[in-house]
Chain A
Amino acid sequence: MTASTRFDSPADAVARLGATGYLCDDDLATVAFLGLAMQRPLLLEGEPGTGKTALAEALAAALDVPLVRLQCYEGIDATQALYDWDFPRQVLHLRALEATGGATGANLEEAEKSLYDERFLLARPVLTALQQSPAVLLVDEIDRADDEFEAFLLEVLSTYQVSIPELGTIKAATPPVVVLTSNRTRELHDALKRRCLYHWIDHPGLEREVAIVRSRAPEVSASLAAQVVGVVQRLRTGTELEKPPGVAETLDWARALHYLGTTDLDLESSSRTLGALVKYREDADRVKHALDNMLRA
């Protein structure tokens, strides 16, 4: 494996991910380091908006390899994840052969063979990742896919190769870095989990979140970032919300306040921009009430 597709140490992972603007804690860095060193997929779970998908993007940027994303949904199957034959083009090719008289006699077998050429192969995300590897393959929201798809994915992830009956086996030169994310709408199968390194991403602490806001939204002033994060952290722990705001919402809110020219968080500007932070009417009421207490005090 080349030096570029792995980290030297957990500290190296922190530094290189940090350079791309993804600030992770030591535990997550260790897991990322191990995943690359042991060539195991990473299984990331956690609240929405804590940066599961962002980690895959940051990994791709830090390792300077392409990111291939496979968004899972109910009913997804191998033809959408792996490969498909470009049927219309194959037909066109046949017609062309017909017109030039190439599909006769001894050439017949040849012509048939030419139908299953790699240029008629539509590579879907998993195959793309194997072909382009070294790459980062992000399998997003794997819990949305069906059990059967999980079994299929397991097969690919254990060998990092794909067999196409008409064409042969395609094997990745270097296994791609695989990141799986799950929202836990259903329990994944043990066989798949066993193969992965597991990490639960929590909401970051105060200092880290301020640092994240500062790095992702550098236009926001330091004092405003600190105030915004302080309020969000207190909302997460102290208030009963339908959907506690994630880091993504914190960023949105900080940017929204910045665009309004706010330098100091006050009741008026914060209630005008609340739509960036909470997405339920009930939550908006509760947050307004909580902000009232916090900002008055």
Chain B
Amino acid sequence: MATAHEIDEVLLAFTRALRAAGVPVTHDRSAGFLEATALVGLDGPAGQQLTYAAGRATLCSTPDDLVRYDQVFAAFFDARDGLPRERPAPPSRPVTSQMSLDEGAGEGDEGADDDVVRALASDVEVLRHRDLATMTAAEKHHLAAMFATLRPRPPLRRTVRQEPWRRGRVDAARTLRASMRRHGEPARIEWRHRRLRPRRVVLLVDVSGSMSGYADALLRLAHTMTQALTTRGGRVETFTVGTRLTHLTRALRSRDAERALVAAGSAVPDWSGGTRLGETLKVFTDRWGRRGMARGAVVVVFSDGWERGDCTQLGEQVRRLRAVAHRVVWVNPHRGKAGYEPVQQGILAVLPHVDDLVAGHTLATYAELVEVVARA
């Protein structure tokens, strides 16, 4: 039996391993863990199970943490030689697979192939419109300054609560009170109306390979909107979709755009990876959207609708999303290009379930988008 001192060291080493695996363990959390293990007791056959439960409760705070915790715990404590047998897999390893425009061009992808050709063919055209994908680093820097000129406003909704207003319905209580103050002398009539509150805005940014040229600009736009809307009392939630769903809201909360973008970039594991748009949208709707995040919200999807595999799932998922959202806005960077027709399968599948289809390839179109969102 080890001494108490050694046990504490082992437990603290475990919290370090956990931190290395990406679980945000702070000192007070570690202290809480030690306190909890002391309370439940480490001895006896149930000791390991109790330590496990105590650690889960004190060190984790999201379902993602729980998965990592289980891996690290198994590797750390189940090792027979006293050393971890296998290193826990880093929780979010960037998927470096190139989005292959040609790789999956098997049967059923003829329409998709067509789109590549069209996109390539229209590139010349696009340069004139300052397509973001074709910009140099210096131009992008300049663009960052220009993004500051966008003035996003939150979309509004009417709430049940009412507030005093210049016109609207008669506010009997206030009118009477005012007249009482004048000893029953009829005073002027007071009015009230239903209060307006900002609607939630949810941004889903496709960061797959086919969108890689726009990803930087779109995140910048997401950051601009997050900052502008939250200062006006609104709420913006941002996710990236690709091969997996990443919650970016927190990363974009930083006021400094560059810092926020770096944080966002390191948080997204599937940068320029493949696309499983339908699947990730389903994950979003199941885990976040239906629970309330998308309810009554304005959902903006930035994607070219480029889907590997079957597009019926994509259509189905957008339908589900729209069933809970107030409005679904689809932003397709290819839409603004000359000669664009929504013939690509993914877009065809989602078109019936989308309220607005707007372009998203120049700053002017972003200004338009900001307007569409504000009026939604």
Which residues of A come within 8 Å of B, CB atoms? 9-10, 26-27, 30-31, 33-35, 37-38, 40, 43, 45, 48, 74-75, 143-144, 183-187, 190, 193-194, 197-200, 242-243
Having A30-B50, A186-B235, A186-B237, one finds 14 other A-B pairs with CB under 8 Å, namely A10-B53, A27-B53, A30-B53, A30-B57, A34-B54, A37-B39, A38-B36, A45-B63, A74-B197, A75-B197, A184-B291, A185-B292, A186-B292, A198-B56
- The answer to whether A183 touches B53 (Cβ under 8 A) is no
Chain A interface: which of B6-14, B27-35, B328-336? B27-35
The contact of B57 among A34, A143, A183, A185, by CB within 8 Å, is: A34
- Find the B residue at minimum CB distance from A48: B291
Which 5 pairs, one residue from A and one from B, show the smallest C-beta to C-beta distance? A185-B292, A30-B53, A197-B57, A193-B61, A27-B53
Which residue of A34, A45, A187, A242 is within 8 Å of B320 (Cβ)? A242
Chain B residues 268 to 294 lying within 8 A of chain A, measured CB to CB, are 287-288, 290-293
Chain B positions within 8 Å of A, measured between CB atoms, are: 24, 26, 28-29, 32, 35-36, 39-40, 46, 49-50, 52-54, 56-58, 60-63, 66, 159, 161, 197, 235, 237, 247, 249-250, 287-288, 290-293, 295, 320
Are A187 and B197 in contact, with the CB atoms below 8 A?
Answer: no
| Minimum Cβ distance to chain B for residue A35 (Å) | 8
Q: With both chains docked as a complex, state the minimum distance between the C-beta of A154 and any C-beta of chain B, in angstroms.
A: 14
Residues of B within 8 A of A38 (CB): 32, 35-36, 39
Q: Are B40 and A183 interface neighbours, CB within 8 A?
A: no
Among B58, B61, B159, B288, max chain A CB count under 10 A is at B61
Instruction: Evaluate contact between B249 and A187: CB separation under 8 angstroms.
Output: yes
B288 x A34 contact (CB < 8 A): no
Contact at A75–B40, with CB atoms within 8 Å? no
Assess the B292–A197 pair: CB atoms within 8 A.
no
Residue of B nearest to A35 (CB): B57
Closest Cβ–Cβ distance, residue A236 to chain B (whole Å): 13
Distance in Å from the Cβ of B176 to the closest Cβ of chain A?
13
Question: B50 contacts which of A10, A37, A74, A184 (Cβ < 8 Å)?
Answer: A10
| B287 CB contacts on chain A under 8 angstroms | 184
* CB-based contact B293/A186 at 8 Å: yes
B291 and A185 contact, CB distance less than 8 A: yes
Q: Which residue of B lies closest to A25 (CB)?
A: B53
Given contacts A193-B61, A200-B63, contact A30 B249 (CB under 8 A): no
**Interfacial chain A residues near B62, Cβ < 8 Å:** 187
In the complex, what residue of chain B is closest to A47 when comparing beta carbons?
Answer: B291
Residues of A with C-beta under 8 A to B24? 190
By the criterion CB–CB under 8 Å, are A185 and B288 in contact?
Answer: yes
- Name the residue of chain A whose CB is nearest to the CB of B66: A200
Q: Which of A26, A45, A74, A194 contacts B53 (CB 8 A)?
A: A26
